[in-house]
Structure 1
Amino acid sequence: MSVYDDAQDAPPFDVPAVQTYGAAYKLNVQTDGRGAVLVAYTRDAETGAVTRSQIRVDLAGVDYIKRRLSGG
């Protein structure tokens, strides 16, 4: 079981507009039967605060990203 499995069954919620300014300094991709999860760590250039974003990408999205990265 992945730490991301619980999110699939979670009720929908309103997402606030969150913006982090700075460069992602660490990226991690974990794959499973449903697609992939991209985890990005970003350090805010002004405050130094670190944020972590987790984005689930379904199988169709994974295929799209592969095509774009391969130039297809």
Structure 2
Amino acid sequence: MFIKILTKTINGKVHYYASLVENKRVNGKVKQFVKANLGPVTEDQIPYLKAAYSQKKPRLVYDDVE
């Protein structure tokens, strides 16, 4: 499963919507099935949502090393 971000432009303003999507093989072809619509998200929330569902968890906060 992964997070899919859909973008829509309404009246010149970009809106982002998130969905939880699963890939399944049907009749020899891969199809995407939406498991849950997460609704509108801000541009700042997108990396955190993707990191939450990734297999390798990236570090989103870095320590200042001097």
Decide: shared fold, TM above 0.5: no
Structure with higher Rg: it is 2
Instruction: Select the structure that is richer in helix.
Output: 1
Instruction: Select the structure that is richer in strand.
Output: 2
The TM-score with structure 1 as length reference comes to: 0.28
Larger relative contact order, structure 1 or 2 (CA cutoff 8 Å, min sep 6) = 2
